[in-house]
Amino acid sequence: MRIVIVVGGAKAQAWRDTIASHLRDAQIDIWQPGFTQPADFAVGWTPPPQFFIDQPRLRAFFSVGAGVEHVLHNPNLPADLPIVRVEDAGMGEQMVDYCRFEVLRWMQRRDEYVAQQAAGVWEPLDSAFSRTEWPVGVFGLGVLGRQVASAFAADGFPVNAFARSSAATEPGVQLFAEADGTDRFEAFMRATKVLMILAPLTPATQDKFNRDTLRLLPRGSYVINVARGGLIVDEGLLELLDSGHLNGAALDVFRTEPLPAEHRYWSHPRVRVTPHTAAVTPLGPASKQIADKITQLAANQNVTGIVDRGRAY
């Protein structure tokens, strides 16, 4: 069995070595332009168009992250090639911590205290410490979204969730299902104080959160995006932050990454920017998961995490 790794930079060797530790009988190579030895499986991120021309006999492509748009948009991707995504592998816990940190920071007005410290001001501020006054709304109830919703429910927050299907239930979470009618999205937004975006980027979610839809959030609300930058229309979000309709945004993902130096997000006083680090794929657990699935596919067994191309996730 031959496996080819197509990951940019120094990480390629780490992925190769870690997967090799689980699949000792496999021949594992790192793809470079001109490498045409036929492989059975590929593991990678953002493969160049030439890759699929050089590797026409692949049985499956494994994405090293939860997102798969980086491979779905490849112009040479074979129509029948299975794409398998990493399912959590420790990323859910990181997402929970990221969202929890931002919500508590806003609840306790920590940014304002930082500013007061810099100015030498001692002035206790009124804070809404009751978690019941901070309903969170999780948009996207997949593997990661479920963990975030469940964690905030356990923390005592009212939790709303918007999902495609009414079957996507979670204890302690009020579900607003798309299948129950389009008005459910409006109801979900109006019931939410902190919007947490955890859905994949698909044709249905592209530009989902624009000026009009974000305005559905109650005045004084907040936005956290740990999914993909293309779900938010930047101009709409900035307009609502400027007007005071929204109090703040914590953004980990952007339409262009790295975020351009001239972008207003860098300097906006209500925006917190992090460089796509809310959930970093843990090499060890993810490699073990991928290796196990390769073993199963090689034995003609079914695996979970295969992407539905019609849904784009």
Fold of 91-273: Rossmann fold (3.40.50)
* CA separation for the pair 258, 3 (Å, rounded): 30
276 carries an active-site annotation: yes
Domains of the chain, residue spans: 2-89+281-298, 91-273
Fold of 2-89+281-298: Rossmann fold (3.40.50)
Q: Which pTM was predicted?
A: 0.93
Which entry of 211, 255, 276, 309 is annotated as an active-site residue?
A: 276
How confident is the model over 115-130, as pLDDT tens digits? Answer: 999 999 999 998 867 9
The 3 state secondary structure assigned to 204-256 is CCCCCECHHHHCCCCCCEEEEECCCHHHECHHHHHHHHHHCCEEEEEECCCCC
The reply to whether 2-89+281-298 and 91-273 are identical in fold is: yes
**Could you tell me if 255 and 228 are in contact, meaning their C-beta atoms sit under 8 angstroms apart?**
no
How confident is the model over 247-286, as pLDDT tens digits? Answer: 999 999 999 999 999 999 999 999 999 999 999 999 999 9
The secondary structure element, H or E, covering residue 188 is helix 183-190
pLDDT band at 181 (very low <50, low <70, confident <90, very high): low
CB atoms within 10 A of CB 64: 23
Which entry of 85, 146, 228, 270 is annotated as an active-site residue?
A: 228
DSSP string, 27-41: EEEE--TT-----SE
CB atoms within 10 A of CB 285: 14
* CA separation for the pair 261, 266 (Å, rounded): 7
272 carries an active-site annotation: no
**Could you tell me if 100 and 152 are in contact, meaning their C-beta atoms sit under 8 angstroms apart?**
yes
How confident is the model over 44-93, as pLDDT tens digits? Answer: 999 999 999 999 999 999 999 888 999 999 999 999 999 999 998 899 99
